[in-house]
Amino acid sequence: MPVGVGSPASVGTMGDDVARTVGGGRWIDLTHAFDSTTIYWPTERGFTFEPGRNGPTPKGYYYAANRFETAEHGGTHLDAPRHFSATGQTADAIPPARLVGEAAVVDVTERCAADADYEITADDLVAWETAHGRQLGDVILLLRTGWGRRWGDRGRYLGTERMGPDAVAELHFPGLAPEAAEWLVKHRRVKAVGIDTASIDHGPSTHFGSHVALCGANVPVFENVAALDELPASGTFVAALPMKIAGGSGGPLRIVARLPGPAGPGSP
């Protein structure tokens, strides 16, 4: 049993005082832009963008309208619970309250630098609780592995540059250990879990136990989250709003964070 499964009296539950959290600070975009270079799973084609006949019209005004095509899962995106659960919520059915709230950022960058296939443990999560005197309850849990700095270099980010089904066996990046995902589901009540890698399960996974555990409990997952190194460990307000695809197992995600404190120069 992981350290800290119990609930010590000295550890309180994190609240979600939105008015306090968004009252100051500056916004950080945690979303990678979608374009032809966006990283997708080796079995997916990726993002395609088709410009329209954009420009001035005979009536004198400018007009632009483009088309795009994408898989649900790629770039910064949502894994809806339906992704790994036949009874899980689809993208359009996730309650909005689960997509906004205070973030808890667990930093395991040093461990992942030493082991590209590192799996974040329940002890890593409890260490955050011990350091901050609070439980990981009613928060959006964001896992910072340092892999976000590798975005744009497919080989370093995924562990392979190859495409196709055979390339899946060559994937190497950190993730959340299935035992830690099960611990979260059984002993903590998080709103959602996000990570700065291509999957909540680490690269070598073949049974995707963390997906199964979280999706089975209707916990949304955010993958390929950007700029987590700009966030403090606690106190940040996050809004993660995916495309509302009816019946979808996921979809492109725009996720932003508001840092605590006074707004910086030029901030709204």
Q: What is the mean pLDDT of the chain?
A: 91
- Separation in Å, CA 240 to CA 18, 98, 107, 111: 14, 9, 20, 27
Question: Which tokens sit at 113?
Answer: 């630098």
Q: Is residue 101 part of a domain?
A: yes
At 127, is the secondary structure helix, strand, or coil?
helix
Q: Sign of dihedral through CA atoms 157, 36, 91, 88?
A: negative
* Closest of 141, 191, 138, 125 to residue 16, by C-alpha: 138
Q: Whole domain around residue 34: which residue ranges?
A: 12-44+71-258
Q: How confident is the model at residue 16 (pLDDT cuts 50, 70, 90)?
A: very low
Number of structural domains (the chain) is 1
pLDDT digits (tens, 9 = 90+) for 156-198: 999 999 999 999 999 999 999 999 999 999 999 999 999 999 9
Question: Taking a C-beta distance cutoff of 8 angstroms, is the pair 2, 183 a contact?
Answer: yes
Q: Is the pLDDT of residue 266 over 90?
A: no
In the numeric block, the tokens 């443990």 are attached to 121
- Is 7 among the domain residues? no
CATH of the domain at 81: 3.50.30.50
Question: Does a structural domain hold residue 220?
Answer: yes
Residue 50 falls inside a structural domain: no
CA 112, 118, 122: angle at the middle one, nearest 5? 105
pLDDT in tens, 41-92: 999 999 999 999 999 999 999 999 999 999 999 999 999 999 999 999 999 9
Is residue 3 domain-resident? no
pLDDT at 268 over 60: no
